[in-house]
Amino acid sequence: MKLKYMTLQNIATLNDIERAYQLIQSYVHKTPVLKSELINKLLGCSVQFKCENFQKVGAFKYRGATHAILRLSDAEKSNGVTTHSSGNHAGALAKAASLQGIDAYIVMPKNAPKVKVEAVKSYGGIITFCEPTLEARETTLKKVQEETGATFIHPYDNFNVICGQGTACLELYDQVAEPDYVFAPVGGGGLLSGTSIVAKSIWQNTKVIAGEPKNADDAYQSFNTHELVPAVHPNSIADGLLTSLSDLTFGIIQKYVDEIITVSEEEIIEAMKLVYQYLKIVIEPSSAVPFAAVIKNKARFQNKSIVIIVSGGNVDLAQLPF
Amino acid sequence: MKLKYMTLQNIATLNDIERAYQLIQSYVHKTPVLKSELINKLLGCSVQFKCENFQKVGAFKYRGATHAILRLSDAEKSNGVTTHSSGNHAGALAKAASLQGIDAYIVMPKNAPKVKVEAVKSYGGIITFCEPTLEARETTLKKVQEETGATFIHPYDNFNVICGQGTACLELYDQVAEPDYVFAPVGGGGLLSGTSIVAKSIWQNTKVIAGEPKNADDAYQSFNTHELVPAVHPNSIADGLLTSLSDLTFGIIQKYVDEIITVSEEEIIEAMKLVYQYLKIVIEPSSAVPFAAVIKNKARFQNKSIVIIVSGGNVDLAQLPF
């Protein structure tokens, strides 16, 4: 119980997220909400997609990274920021830092996809490569911190990052009517945390459901056993959802999320394909996970109104699964 | 000269296209205009994309088909409409007809892609299959017309269809500032005709440029020799641009279009890839053709403002060229 008590102290409120939005509003895109008549006809419900794939750097991560950077003191800013990531958070932090004229030191495993490395470089990130193990990443990060004095911006175990990610759902307030359900993917839980805090605050009866790959179901297990279970050998095409929850995100998810639904790799690919085909937008596999959870439970969601947070659109086009 | 005189009689005006828009406005999507900072940085100019891939049935064709149908008399409507097409016009006509409660008889070559056949069926089109030759298509169409009394709605050699296609550019009036250039693809010339009439009427100095596949360059040849040249064995991944101009569209294009630029298959694929990667939208190869013409002439368009009409997003995902 001590853990839960501690984390609850850190739970952001709607007010925190509104203030985050005031701060980052001029730096982020207000992303559009799209729908497809054919998808609605196919599923017998109303699905609206909040398109964070159109966000800067192609993912919601830009919101949290921007917010965390804007909250730094001038002294902290002068030493720059650092993180270890081979995914969207690395690019987001590098670009957000560059826009504020501060340095971003990114620790990346040396087997990181070339396209991700190029993206971080193009945003002006200063890359240090390390061996592709968590231990090497953490050791290298510590070394970079010691050498530079840079502030570590964790991709999700960070109050300000979570507040930033919540602003996507906040924008929905004047974009859609109160939905029956809001769906988001869950990896480390930053987006889900921010989303659930906002959804439960701005709407009366909306339920928040997360989609998670069956092959990386640590959040599902943690949520249902009420004990933080780390991801063990996660292996999914949804490469943004392989991380484990943190104490902070787990606390928020336990409090505000109603349910986590897991889906198979085939279900993720099928959902991704439907989005490309009918919605005509490019999404990454992680973004298809919550939609796959809706499709899988089609009968249950008949005539319901659903909003899905589409997390990002950074996909290697040579590796599309169809 | 007689030909040119005749066709000029039929040239639609801005006024005709404004009236078309009043008629179809409640049936079509006002499609968004998107841009990418990275694309602009890469090319050194400002490119805005008018996204008709988000139009109903996934293509601008829905505008023209809807308008042509709404212009029919009640007597004509009661006998339905017909066309021969294996592409977007078939689906557009079927859906637009179904919405007005009238029959659409679609003649399709029996080797038409299954996905296109399914689309027409899903929109309620009544399909007659024929041999895959132009002669068979025309003979079969004539037979269908005789049997049903349906009105033939040509995909582009039709005044009302051209007026409908022009409404996409009309929407740009309050979506973008006057651009230096408007680009559109050219196949049969319906979209290019409507676009050029509108662009030259609502803006003072905007130039209209068409993109065309080198492997289907009949419009390029016609435009530059001032004589209508039919497409001979066109063979391009841009499957929406294989048709020849008609007298009607050729007359309009000669009058209003400033230039036609041809591009290779590799250039089309490269442009398509950039759109998927940076703009995060799904487009069909034909839509990448005008963008390929911009990329190819990057130096010439430095610091210019460009709007590209993205014609559609109906692509066989299993056949993506990357």
Q: What is the DSSP string of A254-289?
A: HHH--EEEEE-HHHHHHHHHHIIIII-B---HHHHH
Segment A123-173, tens digit of pLDDT? 999 999 999 888 899 999 999 999 999 999 999 999 999 999 999 999 999
Q: Is the pLDDT of residue A213 over 80?
A: yes
Cα separation, A64 vs B57, whole angstroms: 36
Are residue B127 and residue B191 in the same domain, yes or no?
A: no
Coil, strand or helix at A130 = strand
Q: Is the pLDDT of residue A8 over 80?
A: no
Cα separation, B20 vs B23, whole angstroms: 5
Is B318's CB within 8 Å of A322's CB? yes
Are residue A51 and residue A198 in the same domain, yes or no?
A: yes
Q: For residue B9, what pLDDT is reported? A: 62
Question: A56 to chain B: which residues are within 8 Å by CB?
Answer: 37
A322 touches chain B (CB under 8 A): yes
Segment B302-312, tens digit of pLDDT? 999 999 999 99
Helix/strand/coil percent split, chain A, to 5: 50, 15, 35
Which of B37, B276, B283 lies at the smallest CB-CB distance from A317?
B276
Q: For residue A2, what pLDDT is reported? A: 42
Are residue A100 and residue A164 in the same domain, yes or no?
A: no
Distance from CA of A273 to the nearest CA of B (A): 8
- CATH code: domain of residue B89: 3.40.50.1100
Are residue B189 and residue B293 in the same domain, yes or no?
A: yes
Per the structure, the complete domain to which residue A193 belongs is given by: 2-58+159-319
Closest CA to A93 of A154, A137, A12, A141: A154
Number of Cβ atoms within 10 Å of the Cβ of A27: 17
Which residues touch A100 (CB under 8 Å, ≥6 apart)?
Answer: A69, A70, A77
Q: Is the pLDDT of residue A3 over 60?
A: no
Question: Quick one: tokens of B173?
Answer: 């009036």
Is A280's CB within 8 Å of B280's CB? no
Is B32's CB within 8 Å of A32's CB? yes
Q: For residue B111, what pLDDT is reported? A: 86
Are residue A42 and residue A67 in the same domain, yes or no?
A: no
Is residue B108 within 8 Å of residue B127, measured between CB atoms?
Answer: yes
Among chain B residues, CA nearest to A315? B277
B283 touches chain A (CB under 8 A): yes
- Residue ending a domain, among A97, A129, A152, is A152
Q: β-strands B207-213, B181-185: how paired? A: parallel
Q: In degrees rounded to 5, what are phi and psi of residue B130?
A: -140, 175
Burial, B106: exposed, middle or buried (Cβ in 10 Å; 0-12, 13-18, 19+)? Answer: buried
Q: For residue A6, what pLDDT is reported? A: 46
Are residue B180 and residue B48 in the same domain, yes or no?
A: yes
Q: For residue B8, what pLDDT is reported? A: 56
What mean pLDDT do residues A25-40 have? 96
ipTM of the complex: 0.93
Q: Tokens 């064709």 identify what position?
A: B61
Are residue A9 and residue A33 in the same domain, yes or no?
A: yes
More confident residue, A198 or A231: A198
Which of A37, A53, A273 lies at the smallest CB-CB distance from B280?
A53
Distance from CA of B276 to the nearest CA of A (A): 6
Cα separation, B264 vs A52, whole angstroms: 33
Q: Is the pLDDT of residue A5 over 60?
A: no
Please give the C-alpha separations between residue B288 and each of A118, B45, B253, B311, in angstroms, as whole numbers: 24, 17, 20, 9
- Residue ending a domain, among B152, B172, B201, is B152
Q: Kindly report the pTM of this predicted structure.
A: 0.94
- Residue ending a domain, among A152, A187, A209, is A152
Are residue B49 and residue B193 in the same domain, yes or no?
A: yes
Q: Is the pLDDT of residue A104 over 60?
A: yes
Is B322's CB within 8 Å of A322's CB? no
Which of A56, A122, A282 lies at the smallest CB-CB distance from B276?
A282
Question: A280 to chain B: which residues are within 8 Å by CB?
Answer: 53-54, 58, 281-283, 313
Are residue B174 and residue B99 in the same domain, yes or no?
A: no
- Counting residues of chain A whose pLDDT is more than 90, the rounded percentage is 89
Are residue B53 and residue B175 in the same domain, yes or no?
A: yes
B33 touches chain A (CB under 8 A): no
Are residue B184 and residue B204 in the same domain, yes or no?
A: yes
Q: For residue B2, what pLDDT is reported? A: 41
Q: For residue A252, what pLDDT is reported? A: 96
Question: A122 to chain B: which residues are within 8 Å by CB?
Answer: 38
Please give the C-alpha separations between residue A199 and each of A54, A181, A292, A312, B193, in angstroms, as whole numbers: 21, 9, 21, 20, 48
* B76-79 own/partner pairs: CB under 8 Å, 24+ apart: B76/B151, B77/B102, B78/B102, B79/B103, B79/B148, B79/B149, B79/B150, B79/B151
- Number of domains within chain A: 2
Is residue B172 within 8 Å of residue B33, measured between CB atoms?
Answer: yes
Are residue A185 and residue A270 in the same domain, yes or no?
A: yes
Q: Which helix (H) or strand (E) holds A193?
A: helix A190-202
What mean pLDDT do residues A81-87 have? 91
B58 touches chain A (CB under 8 A): yes
From chain B residues 128-187, the ones with a CB under 8 A of any chain A CB are none
Q: Could you say which residues of chain B have pLDDT below 70?
A: 1-9
Cα separation, B284 vs B53, whole angstroms: 8
